[in-house]
Structure 1
Amino acid sequence: MKAVHFGAGNIGRGFIGYLLSKSGYEVTFVDISDFLVNAINEYKKYTVITLSTSENKEKIEGVKAVHLHEMAGLEAVVKEADLITTSIGANNLKSTGGLLKTLLEKRFETNKKELDIIACENALMATDILKDGILEGASDELKANLDKYVGFPNSAVDRIVPNVDIEKELPIDVAVEDFYEWDIEKNKVKVNGNVNGAEYVDNLGPYLERKLFLLNGAHATTAYLGDLKGYKYIHEAIQDEAIKNVIVGFHAEAVKALSEKHKIDIEALTAYSKKLIGRFENTYLKDEVFRVGRDPIRKLSGNDRLITPLRLCYELNIERENILTGIAAGLLFDYAEDEKSQEVQSNIKANGIKKAVADITSLDIDSPLVDAIVSKYEEVKTSFTK
């Protein structure tokens, strides 16, 4: 079985590529980085270092790479692929879909073998976004071939892969936490139903929202509050009593909302919550606050990890003060090296906090949620300080 994975970064190598290789796939990475492509093709292997109470090292061998702009190479690997996956960032899915449209047209000229395409991103129903990019402007013939031969399962992915500074044998070795989860929509899979370490589920929605709210939302909140109080690492921030109280409260609000919406056992969600906080406390990861908090424009957008649980709590009339605290802290994230955080600060300065909140979150400016965010912003600005 042959897999093509778009995105040779830490998640690509340390999570998706890792599981696919261990499942017996011949893995080809696609990336825009000359360094990554050249290094993968030079070494043809790398080590995944699992960071827990002790280090565990696993060799991943037989990998190769193609540059994103090398069309002949891309056509060759996509033509033979049984599985195409991505970890490129949700913002890049539409453009990658346009590229895949061209590559799949070439494939179907000579190869009608079934395959699956799965986007592995921190976004709700990311594969659907990628599929929309492929379908945009597609011919009727391509649409028919996609319907017949291609599975488009959505998935939920969960593994923390920090930019930790550890000794590496090769420059493309990657460090990861010891926990991972990859949930895939079972009923949309064509041929890739046996990836070791993946769980195939009938209803993905609860898994996506559980992960987006309890991991991504609380993780970002830890980073934003940690930055306000001057911490460098997530494990330092979560040890701060004031921050930990917010995260525990955030989880309690989100757990209640998820339980009501999806009819999930609240004890099971609470157990998952406690496990997540333990992951945040992992000192071996040395996961930087900046890495987790960067790009607040995306993380504060209307369909992402903070505004989505806020809206759900509002709709269900559930307490949401701690989620509001996370959003307010995100609006205060002012990191000179992060272009997106500077865009947030410029928007606030130019338009005022209320208009900026509406712009960034896509909430109606007259929504009571906007007023609640503005109020919490003023409170957090003075209550969480270094």
Structure 2
Amino acid sequence: MKAVHFGAGNIGRGFIGKVLHDNGYSVTFADVNADIIEALNQDQSYTVHIAEENGASYTIDDVAGINTAQNPGALKEAIMEADIITTAVGVNILPVIANAIAPHLEARTATGRPLNIIACENAVMATDALKEAILDTTGSINPDVVSFPNSAVDRIVPMQTNDNILDVKVEPFFEWVIEESAWAGTDKLEDVTYVPDLMPYIERKLFTVNTGHAAIAYYGRTLGLDTVSEAMEDEKVESFLRDVLSETAVYLTEVYDFSRAEQDEYIEKIIGRFKNVHLSDDLNRVGRGVLRKLGPDDRIIKPLTWLHEHGLKHDALARLVSFALQFDNTEDPEQIRMNTLIRESGIAAFLKKHSRLSEKLIREII
């Protein structure tokens, strides 16, 4: 079995690539990073290290690389042979990936072999966005052959520098949940959870792991801290984190069928992951993309708005918005753009237009 994975970064190699390899797939990574692609083709293997005390190491072999900017012919050949295509590139790059896949789908469809295309991104229903972008080019796709299951993915992969450019360090925990009804064929992946309704799992992860990470980053930087480990050693940060996740837990248990006991157990697991000293990350990196994170359907604003509209406690999430507004990572293009917008129109106008908050909620935040 063969897989094409777009995105040869740490998440692609350390998470999705490893799961595919463990399921018996020969994995071809497609990327524009010439150094990574050259190393993949030269070594044809790399090592995944588990970030914990005495953590295990796993050799991922039978891999190759394609430089999509320089070798479109090889990409077409790989897609023709692929049984599954995955991505881990960032949701904003999916239209570019769609342009790389679309020209070859008609010929691939003619083979009649089932093909699953899955966007493994940190976004809600990212595969739908990839499918829509592909359809903009192809016009139609035979659903009996090509399928687009949505998925939810979760694994912390910290910033790192390794002696071998291909080796990667990842946390022990991972979760990959796939939309079962949209899966093509009968060969399902092991160590992957298939569910009839994906949205509860997407939002549970988004409003616990990602909201939690945002709380640590934005409040931690407000206190002058630099890393996740430093922040998680500060009682004020952990207390604030728990307040935030207690509020998002209300949203998750009211909207979906998770019990409060289930969610509380999940929260403790997530906080334990944040405290893993082997995973410590730079808070500026964790908090980057602030405009996206303050979007109306993202990790902070959506649960905040819902709780406010239902007259439920939302103080911690409102404070989190205020900390995000004070975040000042001048190396983040979104940060620079947000600062410009606020300077031109003020905080209230920014939150009304960008985050689509009500005037009452805006007054609370201010």
TM-score range, shorter chain: over 0.9
* CA distance in 2: counterparts of 1:254 and 1:193, whole angstroms: 36
Partners of 2:98 and 2:134 within 8 A in 1: yes
Structure 2: gaps spanning 5 or more residues = none
Query: Structure 2 matches for 1:33-44, cutoff 5 A?
Result: 33-44=33-44
* CA distance in 1: counterparts of 2:21 and 2:319, whole angstroms: 41
SS class of match (1:284): helix
SS class of match (2:11): helix
* CA distance in 1: counterparts of 2:206 and 2:339, whole angstroms: 25
**Pairing 1:156–2:164 present:** no
* Aligned equivalent of 1:371: 363
Tell me the amino acid that sits aligned with residue 215 of structure 2.
T
Structure 1: gaps spanning 5 or more residues = 376-386
Query: Structure 2 matches for 1:215-234, cutoff 5 A?
Result: 215-234=209-228
* Aligned equivalent of 2:65: 65
Q: Quote how far apart the aligned CAs of 1:137 are.
A: 4.2
SS class of match (2:4): strand
* CA distance in 1: counterparts of 2:307 and 2:333, whole angstroms: 31
Residues 176, 135 of structure 1: alpha-carbon distance in 2 compared, 3 angstrom cutoff:
same
SS class of match (1:350): helix
Q: TM-score, normalised by structure 1?
A: 0.90
Query: Structure 2 matches for 1:154-303, cutoff 5 A?
Result: 154-165=150-161, 168-191=162-185, 193-303=187-297
* Aligned equivalent of 2:102: 101
Q: Quote how far apart the aligned CAs of 1:169 are.
A: 4.8
* Aligned equivalent of 1:85: 86
Q: Quote how far apart the aligned CAs of 1:283 are.
A: 0.8
Backbone CA RMSD of aligned residues = 1.6
* CA distance in 2: counterparts of 1:172 and 1:192, whole angstroms: 32
Partners of 2:36 and 2:165 within 8 A in 1: no
* CA distance in 2: counterparts of 1:65 and 1:371, whole angstroms: 52
* Aligned equivalent of 1:330: 324
* CA distance in 2: counterparts of 1:112 and 1:367, whole angstroms: 55
Q: Quote how far apart the aligned CAs of 1:97 are.
A: 2.0
* CA distance in 1: counterparts of 2:281 and 2:188, whole angstroms: 32
Tell me the amino acid that sits aligned with residue 154 of structure 2.
D
Percent of paired sites with the same residue: 38
Please give the per-residue CA displacement for 1:1-54, whole angstroms capped at 9, x wherever unaligned.
111111111110010001100110010111121111111111111110111122
Tell me the amino acid that sits aligned with residue 246 of structure 2.
A
* CA distance in 1: counterparts of 2:3 and 2:361, whole angstroms: 44
Please give the per-residue CA displacement for 1:56-92, whole angstroms capped at 9, x wherever unaligned.
2111011101112221111111111100111110111
Partners of 1:20 and 1:196 within 8 A in 2: no
* Aligned equivalent of 2:32: 32
Q: TM-score, normalised by structure 2?
A: 0.95
Count of residue pairs brought into register by the alignment: 365
* CA distance in 2: counterparts of 1:346 and 1:17, whole angstroms: 39
Q: Quote how far apart the aligned CAs of 1:367 are.
A: 4.0
* CA distance in 2: counterparts of 1:332 and 1:223, whole angstroms: 11
Tell me the amino acid that sits aligned with residue 326 of structure 2.
L
Residues 188, 36 of structure 1: alpha-carbon distance in 2 compared, 3 angstrom cutoff:
same
Tell me the amino acid that sits aligned with residue 302 of structure 1.
P
SS class of match (1:160): coil
Tell me the amino acid that sits aligned with residue 322 of structure 1.
A
**Pairing 1:125–2:125 present:** yes
Tell me the amino acid that sits aligned with residue 94 of structure 1.
P
Please give the per-residue CA displacement for 1:120-157, whole angstroms capped at 9, x wherever unaligned.
11111111111111112433xxx242x22112111110
SS class of match (1:337): coil
Please give the per-residue CA displacement for 1:232-258, whole angstroms capped at 9, x wherever unaligned.
211211221222111101111111111
* CA distance in 2: counterparts of 1:195 and 1:37, whole angstroms: 26
Q: Quote how far apart the aligned CAs of 1:348 are.
A: 1.2
